[in-house]
Amino acid sequence: MNFANNQAIYLQIAEEICSYILLKKWAQEERIPSIRELSVQLEVNPNTILRSFDTLQNEGIIYNKRGIGYFVSADGMEKAKIYLKQKFTDEDMPQFFKRMNLLSIPFNELETYYKKFINKNKN
Amino acid sequence: MNFANNQAIYLQIAEEICSYILLKKWAQEERIPSIRELSVQLEVNPNTILRSFDTLQNEGIIYNKRGIGYFVSADGMEKAKIYLKQKFTDEDMPQFFKRMNLLSIPFNELETYYKKFINKNKN
Amino acid sequence: MNFANNQAIYLQIAEEICSYILLKKWAQEERIPSIRELSVQLEVNPNTILRSFDTLQNEGIIYNKRGIGYFVSADGMEKAKIYLKQKFTDEDMPQFFKRMNLLSIPFNELETYYKKFINKNKN
Amino acid sequence: MNFANNQAIYLQIAEEICSYILLKKWAQEERIPSIRELSVQLEVNPNTILRSFDTLQNEGIIYNKRGIGYFVSADGMEKAKIYLKQKFTDEDMPQFFKRMNLLSIPFNELETYYKKFINKNKN
DNA sequence: GTGGTCTAGACCACC
DNA sequence: GTGGTCTAGACCACA
């Protein structure tokens, strides 16, 4: 039994940053908070934030200006979406479908729930 | 940012027990491990286990024989399924659908992924 | 005046590993020494070696088997060559050409030296 | 693995001084900074600077006036160029060509890179 | 044993 | 101020 979320903190933070970009809380070409700011705010070690940034930089989602800070790439939103979608299909979906099978929920039934969800949130 | 799973531990354990019942690791009318056993195994305070058992007993999934232990109800499997399904539709599904919307994944696409999942796990 | 090589240690190590692969000291699909072994041998912190390995893994030059170690990729030699060549053309060549200009060495003259070098090392 | 530049510090400084002369930062017959000044500026022991000056004096690149200081020779620029060129052809070139061979870069290709370099820096 | 993660803290270069 | 590098050492999961 694992009570804590088993995913590495730096990956959780990376995903969170992507979500922020997708939600347009940080626009493209905009500077994101510094490593030190985030490390204080999220109460983690600066090195952990750096690792998140490194990961996102490798994905081309953010880039870096020496001595200034990190910025969302010009195509950061698109790339953030690709990054998150990959994680979603590879990790969340299989777990979700597994649960459906355990609970004998047929795929048809899922659509019903989906329509309800859409109706409730369409406003 | 929440690094730890935000759900109460005793509820996590309750769900886990239901899963075990559904997977037939503990048959109906079978005695389940004692509070002490589980508290040692899961490295949790015995009171936490007791709360899980209370919750499941209220749902009619397990019952208690004084001085002997807890047992899976005669209709425990069915009730465990209902219990888990409720959690699944109320908590997991909305979160899942929300993510789909954020990532602009149409419902049609989900079916494709579902079929892939089924094919991979049908053996 | 910088007396020490200004390139980061973990990048120097990454290049050194690539050279080893190109020189076939570590064959493709072969396991390379563990992080701990190299950290002792090279007298650097294990984290520094890990960073070198991370870099090379991102380049697809090496890959990892959990709990076993790092291995040279099937196409590791080719990718190591590409990696080193990029570094060579981007960093070493400009510096080399700059020196040629400072010393007023025309390109023709370089060819003479090159032929001498080849003759001396062709055996 | 050598993390530090393997060349003796006093030789590195000697080369640096030659570069300065070639770049006309110190003109011929001009006095160059005192041993004490340089030792402070470069954070090096005065004896190390003295050894650099000795080396350059032996090459006839600089000369000494008792009680006054060191001066660039009348033909210092030419001799500095010869000194640096010798180092360049004897030490840098072989290493450079060796790398070219390791990376299977033919000499023709080098010319392409050279032209690009010239074009970029011709302004 | 292996690698993976995280913390604490230091020093550096660049702006 | 910013990020970049490196060390020391801890704890974890996996095999």
pLDDT, averaged across chain C: 94
pLDDT on residue D3: 65
Long-range contacts of B104-113, Cβ-Cβ distance < 8 Å, separation of 24 or more: B104/A81, B105/A85, B105/A88, B107/A111, B107/A114, B110/A93, B110/A110, B111/A107, B113/A89, B113/A93, B113/A97
Q: CB within 8 A of B77, min separation 6: which ones? A: B21, B22, B24, B28
* Phi, psi values for residue B27, rounded to 5°: -75, 165
CA distance C81 to C118: 21
Q: In the structure, how far is the CA atom of residue C67 from the C1' atom of nucleotide F14, in angstroms?
A: 6
Give contacts of C101 with chain D, Cβ < 8 Å.
121
Q: Does A4 touch chain B (CB under 8 A)?
A: yes
Q: CB within 8 A of D55, min separation 6: which ones? A: D10, D11, D14
pLDDT on residue D54: 97
- Is the confidence at residue D4, as pLDDT, over 80? no
Task: Using alpha carbons only, give the angle D85, D87, D89 rounded to the nearest 5 degrees.
Answer: 65
pLDDT on residue C4: 63
- Is B99 in contact with A114 (Cβ distance < 8 A)? no
- Is the confidence at residue C114, as pLDDT, over 70? yes
Q: In the structure, how far is the CA atom of residue A51 from the C1' atom of nucleotide E12, in angstroms?
A: 19
Number of C-alpha atoms within 13 angstroms, CB side, residue A57? 14
- Is B16 in contact with A3 (Cβ distance < 8 A)? no
Q: Any idea what DSSP says for residue B32?
A: P
- How far does the CA of residue D65 sit from the closest CA of chain C (Å)? 26
pLDDT on residue B42: 84
Strand E, nucleotides covered by protein (CB < 7 Å): 1-10, 13-15
- How far does the CA of residue B9 sit from the closest CA of chain A (Å)? 7
Which of A5, A23, A92 minimises the CB distance to B3?
A5
pLDDT on residue C24: 95
The pLDDT tens digits for C69-89 are 999 999 999 999 999 999 999
For domain B9-77, give the CATH number.
1.10.10.10
Which of 87-106 (A) contact B at CB < 8 A? 88-89, 92-94, 96-97, 99, 101-105
CB-count burial class (<10 Å; 0-12, 13-18, 19+) for C113: middle
Q: Any idea what DSSP says for residue D31?
A: B
Average pLDDT rounded to a whole number, residues C89-97 = 94
Q: What does strand F contact on the protein, if contact means CB under 7 A?
A: A 2, 34-37, 47, 50, 53, 64, 66-70; C 8-11, 43-48, 51, 66-68
Instruction: Tell me if A18 sits within 8 A of A61, measured CB to CB.
Output: yes
The pLDDT tens digits for B54-104 are 999 999 999 999 999 999 999 999 999 999 999 999 999 999 999 999 999
- Is the confidence at residue B5, as pLDDT, over 80? no
Q: Return the percentage of chain D with pLDDT > 90, whole number.
A: 80
Average pLDDT rounded to a whole number, residues C2-23 = 89
Q: In the structure, how far is the CA atom of residue A50 from the C1' atom of nucleotide F4, in angstroms?
A: 10
Please tell me which chains touch B, using 3 or more CB pairs under 8 Å as the contact test.
Answer: A
- Amino acid A119 reads N
Closest Cα in chain D to C90 = D113
What are the boundaries of each domain within chain D?
Answer: 9-77, 83-120
pLDDT on residue A109: 96
- Is the confidence at residue D5, as pLDDT, over 70? no
The pLDDT tens digits for D23-79 are 999 999 999 999 999 988 888 889 999 999 999 999 999 999 999 999 999 999 999
Give contacts of A12 with chain B, Cβ < 8 Å.
1, 3
Considering only CA atoms, give the Rg of chain A.
18
Q: CB within 8 A of D6, min separation 6: which ones? A: none
* Enclosing H/E stretch for B113: helix B107-121
Which of D84, D105, D114 minimises the CB distance to C107?
D114
Nearest nucleotide, CA C31 to C1': E2
Instruction: List, run by run, the mean pLDDT of 10-residue segments along chain A (123 residues).
Output: 76 96 96 96 96 96 95 97 96 94 95 96 79
Closest Cα in chain C to D82 = C103
pLDDT on residue C3: 63
Give contacts of B85 with chain A, Cβ < 8 Å.
103, 105
* Enclosing H/E stretch for D38: helix D35-41
